[in-house]
Amino acid sequence: MPVSSPRGGISLLVGTMKGAFVLRGGVSRRSWKLEEPQFFGSVIDHVAQDPRDPACLMMGTRTGHMGPTVYRSGDFGATWQEASKPPAFKKAKGRKATGRALEAVFQMTPGHADNPGEWWASTVPFGIFRSRDGGDTWKGLKGFNESKKLKKWAGGEPPGGPFTHSLMIDPRDARHMYVALSVAGMFESTDGGRNWAPLNEGSKACFLPDPDVPYGQDPHCAIMHPADPDRLYQQSHCGIYRMDRAEGVWKRIGLRLPKSIGDIGFPVVPHPRDRDTVWVFPMDGTEVWPRTSPKGRPAAYVTRDGGRTWQRQDTGLPRRHAYFTVLRHAMAADREEKAGVYFGTTSGEVYGSRDEGKTWKCLASHLPRILSVEVMVQP
Amino acid sequence: MKIVLSSHYQQYTGGRAEVEADGKTLRAAMKDLDRQFPGLRFRIFDEQENVRRHVNMTAGGKRVKTLGDKVPAKETLYILGALSGG
């Protein structure tokens, strides 16, 4: 299918510790312009565009004093409205009961194409919330938030809290969903989120005495490939994995990366049209886990054959003494003929490539710590 | 009662630092405050009705901590964001 460039151009939605930023790259993606910050001073965990209604954006945000909430825009981010009923757990019953309070709306996920106005929010601590009215009111997903199994699956308290992330909806079936939980693993539902089951066979929990457990793994980021919903990839605390659903087992494909680099990282990003192509951004997972670019030399790695081989992509990136991290939501690709690939760093730079990672260019610098990068398309 | 709000909350009050709310208890005052300024209560108390972290409330020189606390109508309730963060 031919790819037609959006006439309004490509922009990046950048969520940072101190506000939301938009980088405009136009149709050519050659020169980029940084706009003034929005929600300056607030933590912006994630901003996502609705592919069903491109003018609609959804933002998960929080401040240190006022707690987390959701804002929505119907005009490509020109104006924003706060949800009238933001995500919140149920109040615990009984005087001595202690209930959970939301700490972050960590990821926003548009619903299935058949369900216009539906959005999903993945939170810290573990929680899934759904809106059916374009993000104005939110309700907890009972089958997940109140599941007794969830307590059993939750293994610990990872840095930053127990993250719910990588919520995925099968484009062929709105009731088929996946979600990833930090230090709990991957889970699948086939009934719209009423019931969930672990999906971890083959993936290791290398930090446990017995790494082969049914749950308790630590996925950092997982994707359902847009070119093949039966092809899953996962960047975990213990390596890079691929699963073809017909096989139902995670296979560690990151071992083909150079041993001096390793296969630890946060993001994994799919090519828009080739199910065998994904990008990762390895970090140092040795000894005390610095979580920065190995040896201070940052590079993306790409596989074009489903993980059998990997190629280093560092042209245009700092050659040495660059000690940043690319967080799990801070890397993204567009859908252009030559896919653009973008990432934001914990030291506040945004890098982009308009040739699928062959060459990189710094698009913005001196921003606050970057938590998320998403592509916005203006038709 | 008179309520004084630090700058954090003024996006909900149209920029006003001082507002009025009716109620003998903090719970009642918060209900009235939220009626006037929708969403503000949830920014002060979380869903378990605990005061959010880094938020201090005082009235008559005493800390106010729970929704059940009584606040005399003659006193001013201060809702302040603590110095925190980086």
- pLDDT of A55-105, one tens digit each? 999 999 998 889 999 999 999 999 999 999 999 999 998 776 678 999 999
A1 or A377, which is more confident = A377
Q: B37: nearest CA in chain A?
A: A84
The predicted pLDDT at position B82 comes to 80
Is a pLDDT exceeding 60 seen at residue A192? yes
* Position A34, amino acid: L
The predicted pLDDT at position A2 comes to 53
The predicted pLDDT at position A5 comes to 67
Is a pLDDT exceeding 90 seen at residue A4? no
Residue A111 inside a domain? The answer is yes
The predicted pLDDT at position B84 comes to 66
- pLDDT of A10-43, one tens digit each? 999 999 999 999 999 999 999 999 999 999 999 9
- When divided into structural domains, chain A yields a total of 1
Q: How far is A228 from A234, CA to CA, in rounded Å?
A: 15
H or E segment to which residue A16 belongs:
strand A10-16
Is a pLDDT exceeding 90 seen at residue A7? no
- Residues in B touching A65 (Cβ below 8 Å): 8, 43, 52-55, 81-82, 84
Check B85 against A92: CB less than 8 A apart.
no
Which of B42, B45, B48 should one mutate to test binding to chain A, selecting the residue with the greatest count of A CBs within 10 A?
B48
Long-range contacts of A341-347 (CB under 8 A, 24+ apart): A341/A269, A341/A279, A341/A300, A342/A12, A342/A373, A342/A375, A343/A267, A343/A281, A343/A300, A343/A373, A344/A14, A344/A16, A344/A370, A344/A371, A344/A372, A344/A373, A345/A298, A345/A370, A346/A370, A347/A323
The CATH topology of domain B2-81 is Ubiquitin-like (UB roll) (3.10.20)
Residue A96 inside a domain? The answer is no
Split at pLDDT 50, 70, 90, the class of A151 is: confident
Q: What average pLDDT does the segment A201-211 reach?
A: 94
Work out whether strand A173-181 and strand A164-170 pair parallel, antiparallel, or are unpaired: antiparallel
Residues of chain A contacting B, Cβ within 8 Å: 63-67, 69, 82, 84, 86, 88-92, 98-102
- Residues in B touching A98 (Cβ below 8 Å): 48
- Residues in A touching B46 (Cβ below 8 Å): 67, 88, 101-102
The predicted pLDDT at position A52 comes to 96
The predicted pLDDT at position A132 comes to 98
Phi, psi of A188 (to 5 degrees): -130, 145
Smallest Cβ–Cβ distance between A101 and the set B44, B50, B81 belongs to: B50
Q: B45: nearest CA in chain A?
A: A66
Which of A65, A93, A95 should one mutate to test binding to chain B, selecting the residue with the greatest count of B CBs within 10 A?
A65
Residue with tokens 């992509």: A313
The predicted pLDDT at position A137 comes to 98
pTM above 0.90, yes or no: yes
CA distances from B12 to B33, B42, B77 (A): 10, 11, 17
Smallest Cβ–Cβ distance between A84 and the set B8, B38, B43 belongs to: B38
What is the CATH number for A321? 2.130.10.10
- pLDDT of A132-141, one tens digit each? 999 999 999 9
- On whether the CB atoms of residues A247 and A232 are closer than 8 A, the answer is no
Work out whether strand A10-16 and strand A251-252 pair parallel, antiparallel, or are unpaired: unpaired
The predicted pLDDT at position B27 comes to 94
Split at pLDDT 50, 70, 90, the class of A3 is: low
Residues of chain B contacting A, Cβ within 8 Å: 8-9, 38-39, 42-44, 46-50, 52-55, 81-82, 84-85
- pLDDT of B11-49, one tens digit each? 999 999 999 999 888 999 999 999 999 999 999 999 999
Smallest Cβ–Cβ distance between B52 and the set A65, A86, A92 belongs to: A65
- What does pLDDT average to over chain A? 95
- On whether the CB atoms of residues A198 and A187 are closer than 8 A, the answer is yes
Owning domain of residue A237: 10-87+101-377
Which two structure tokens, joined as six digits, stand for B72? Answer: 């005399």
Residue A151 makes CB contacts below 8 A (sequence gap 6+) with: none
Is a pLDDT exceeding 80 seen at residue A1? no
The predicted pLDDT at position A156 comes to 67
- pLDDT of A285-343, one tens digit each? 888 889 999 999 999 999 999 999 999 999 999 999 999 999 999 999 999 999 999 99
Which of B27, B40, B46 should one mutate to test binding to chain A, selecting the residue with the greatest count of A CBs within 10 A?
B46
